[in-house]
């Protein structure tokens, strides 16, 4: 792997039809590792920061275009999620005692998907990275995009699920479908269920 004269890129796979370098855009929000789901929870956003440290340590960042994701707006997130659910996420605080118990049940926040300090900014960063990655692909600004803070595919239209609050995968697909008529169909099977 080497940087080309036209910027950071990766070589084509061996035996590929062409020899052009692939432009890779890597999205990373520096504060993503500061979010904390709580004591004993298996979801650990600081692992994203650890992966980023490895990218830097091994010099891989020289082969990539580093991009900081924009925070996805409520309107961006509402392209898939219900307005009521997005409003709940935007207003949720790290103090679960002030939350309406009916809303907690309705939106499935609790043990698997706890309300924590900075919940909505965390969701905005994750979704913003995936939407931004799709925009780069749509514009032809990159051939490959990476968002380690994304892939939170368990979230449903109106509720959290499986450690996921906002389904950034669906949001990215909706963005890609603005320019690509090919239907993107992805199946993720974990815990015996999938959403799409």
User: Domain residue spans in the chain?
Assistant: 24-176
Pick among 1.20.1250.20, 3.40.800.20, 3.10.450.50, 3.40.50.150: CATH of 24-176: 3.40.800.20
What per-residue confidence (pLDDT) applies to 9?
A: 62
Confidence (pTM): 0.85
| Residues tagged active-site | 154
Q: Mean pLDDT for each consecutive 10-residue tract of the chain (196 residues)?
A: 51 62 94 95 96 96 95 98 97 81 93 94 98 96 94 94 95 91 57 48
What per-residue confidence (pLDDT) applies to 113?
A: 94
SS3 56: helix
Angle at 166 between CA 164 and CA 172, to 5 degrees: 120
Q: Residue 39 CB: number of other CB atoms within 10 A?
A: 5
Burial of 151 (0-12, 13-18, 19+ CB in 10 A): middle
pLDDT tens digit sequence for 155-173: 999 999 999 999 999 999 9
What per-residue confidence (pLDDT) applies to 5?
A: 46
């Amino acid at each position: 792997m080497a940087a080309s004269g036209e910027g950071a890129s990766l070589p084509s796979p061996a035996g590929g039809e062409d020899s052009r370098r692939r432009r890779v855009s890597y999205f990373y929000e520096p504060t993503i590792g500061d979010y904390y789901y709580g004591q004993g929870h298996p979801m650990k956003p600081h692992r994203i920061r650890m992966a980023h440290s490895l990218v830097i340590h091994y010099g891989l960042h020289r082969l990539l275009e580093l991009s900081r994701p924009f925070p996805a707006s409520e309107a961006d997130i509402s392209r898939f999620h219900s307005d009521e659910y997005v409003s709940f996420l935007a207003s949720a605080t790290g103090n679960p005692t002030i939350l309406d118990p009916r809303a907690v049940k309705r939106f499935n926040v609790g043990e698997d998907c706890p309300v924590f300090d900075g919940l909505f900014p965390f969701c905005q960063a994750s979704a913003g990275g995936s939407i931004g990655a799709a925009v780069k692909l749509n514009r032809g600004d990159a051939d490959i995009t990476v968002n380690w803070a994304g892939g939170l595919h368990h979230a449903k239209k109106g509720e959290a699920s499986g450690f996921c609050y906002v389904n950034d995968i669906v949001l990215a697909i909706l963005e890609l479908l603005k320019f690509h008529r090919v239907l993107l169909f992805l199946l993720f099977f974990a815990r015996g269920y999938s959403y799409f």
